[in-house]
Structure 1
């Protein structure tokens, strides 16, 4: 287990940790979060409904179309409007939100739901809403990796979120010192292959952006770089893009691999492409070869070691 001081700070809907803060006094404890992610993330629990003064138990609320736009109102009493109450509470959280590297939200919640939250018009809802607090996070912390607990059950979405948290953590540590064109180039080299596995064209554009950096424009380039890198990483990596990235890495071994080793690597990548092997298998084989034949570019890249191996996320994709 990683020491607490090395854990990454991540916000979370309080009910997901088993805290009895829901409107009915219950919780929505999530075993994967509590038993696995808790070993690597230092969770900051927060319930916007409770913290805004609504109490436990409290009248259940919903999002509803009104003449004043979408409002958060009582289910039984539509005159109970807590929209401003929640929004006012949101603005009081910036002192700790700014120190986070990710956030896990409760799905379907009128305060915390990330997407597809029910919005009622008369008695017939559509799935077009975002929770009041979740929308605040999106508007004020656009770089922050956000995910819903329900979507963490999908291996690809789970890997995507964890990877974004670790990249954002490294970026914020990197940004503690003055960013220079050379330092930005190093950071990009470390994350270039990760970007390639998500979206090839965006990865190429990121490289061109970094190449354009100089002492005069480094501030603007830096802001644009992290904005587009996080947008790139939000796109779920595909098997095809991983195959292209693996083959790109394989190219760094073409002059040193023996014929049988090369054939084995090609076959392993192909079997991954066909869905017969998880991603961890070709990556483990590549790690083996680069331990014997180190390459400076591959050595500094995070693609094959994006987060603690104990999370075993690459075993599932």
Structure 2
């Protein structure tokens, strides 16, 4: 069992810290992800001295700036206090491999948070919570997702994959070396190919020139490019391309019946009749029968624990 450090809005973990004294507990988070993630709960509003329950707050655009204002008669402006706390807190969380934030929150929302205008209307497209804005600005490589969006199976799978991949990167480079980075990149070749063929080629060229850059600078540049690539979601077409590449490694090992079976499963996946997991189970079965050290190291075949069942609908 892993112990991956992940930040989270305290209310999503079930803590009663919302303005009304309630919470927004996520069953997926508490019942499944908690088996692998070590959560670091934060409630920015409580952290800046507000209680639960408390007056609601909202984002308002005032003179072209987004401000955080209490929704009571006093209308206190908490913007500067929230930004100061956010910057200090984010600076102390460099070990995190992901963050789950509370949707629609004026402090934690990731997107489409309601922004009030002076004319009584709301800003088109909304905005981002002030804490999450600082988090994503200061740690642009970090996987960040909203609790509500984790109900989407594709977004859920992509977020969890990115968290496990970043943790793998950190674990693989505890002793930072060019060899460690090259080995890590090699293991994620097909994962990158599935998510972004363009980034796959660009990162390959970057790694080929690893000796031309100071190692610490290379790591920072590589981490950002790698995580941005995984942010692009793999699809049926790109996964099929990867499966066909993997199939090539078995040309000489499989007999005629096995080759036909593998070809048929890939075709059924491409047509949408089977989930990706079905093809991967068959690949892993053949790897046990016909070991291949290079393929067995590929993160694509097992990017996270199978019991999470994240690839079933893909």
TM-score by length of 1: 0.94
Distance 1:23 1:65 in 2: 21
Matched, 1:309 2:278: no
SS of 2:191's partner is helix
Equivalent in 150, 172, 175 of residue 173 of structure 2: 175
What RMSD in Å do the two structures reach over aligned CA positions? 1.5
Q: Which residue of 1 aligns with 2:149?
A: 151
The question of 1:206 aligning with 2:196 is answered no
Match of 1:71 in 2: 67
Unmatched tracts of structure 1, length 5 or more: none
* Structure 1 residue 53, shift from structure 2 partner: 0.5
Does residue 28 in structure 1 map to residue 28 in structure 2?
no
| C-alpha spacing 1:200/1:77, structure 2 compared with 1 (3 Å) | farther
Residue by residue over 1:208-255, the C-alpha shift from the partner in whole angstroms, topping out at 9 and shown as x without a partner, is 111112165444433222111100001111111111111111111112
2:109 aligned counterpart, secondary structure: coil
Task: State how far apart, in whole Å, the 1-side matches of 2:227 and 2:90 are.
Answer: 21
Q: Quick one: distance in 2 between partners of 1:219 and 1:15?
A: 36
SS at match of 2:287: helix
Query: Which runs of structure 2 are paired with 1:119-198 in the superposition (5 Å)?
Result: 119-121=115-117, 122-125=119-122, 126-180=124-178, 182-198=179-195
Alignment match, 2:267:
270
Cα offset for 1:96?
Answer: 4.2
User: C-alpha displacement at 1:117, in angstroms?
Assistant: 0.9
Cα distance in 2 between the residues matched to 1:133 and 1:221: 28
2:299 is paired with a residue whose SS is: coil
Stretch deviating more after TM superposition (251-260 or 120-129)? 120-129
> Cα distance, 1:316 vs. partner?
2.4
Q: In structure 1, the residue corresponding to 2:116 is in which secondary structure? A: strand
Counterpart of 2:100 (choices 79, 99, 104) is 104
Instruction: Kindly tell me the number of residue pairs found equivalent between the two proteins.
Output: 312
Q: Is contact 2:158-2:233 (8 Å) kept? A: yes
What is the CA-CA distance between 1:92 and the residue it aligns to? 2.9
Cα gap change, 1:97 to 1:50, in 2 (>3 Å): same
The answer to whether the 8 A contact 2:6-2:38 is kept is: yes
Q: Structure 2, unaligned stretches of length 5 or more? A: none
Which of 108, 112, 116 aligns to 2:112? It is 116
Q: Distance in 2 between matches of 1:159 and 1:197?
A: 14
Q: 2:255 — aligned with what?
A: 258
Aligned match for 2:225, one of 228, 232, 253: 228
Is the CA contact (8 Å cut-off) linking 2:90 and 2:134 kept in structure 1? no
SS of 2:21's equivalent in the other structure is coil
Contact persistence 2:90–2:138 (CA under 8 A):
no
**2:27 matches 1:50:** no
Q: Please, which moves more after superposition, 100-109 or 291-300?
A: 291-300
Give the whole-Å Cα distance in 2 for the aligned partners of 1:227 and 1:218.
14
Of the structure 1 ranges 92-101 and 303-312, higher mean CA displacement relative to structure 2 is found in 92-101
Per the alignment, residue 38 of structure 1 pairs with: 34
Q: Is the 8 A contact 2:17 2:52 kept in 1?
A: yes
Note the C-alpha offset of 1:167.
Answer: 0.7
- Which contiguous aligned blocks of 4+ residues in structure 1 show a shift greater than 4 angstroms? none
Separation of aligned partners in 2, 1:61 and 1:220 = 40
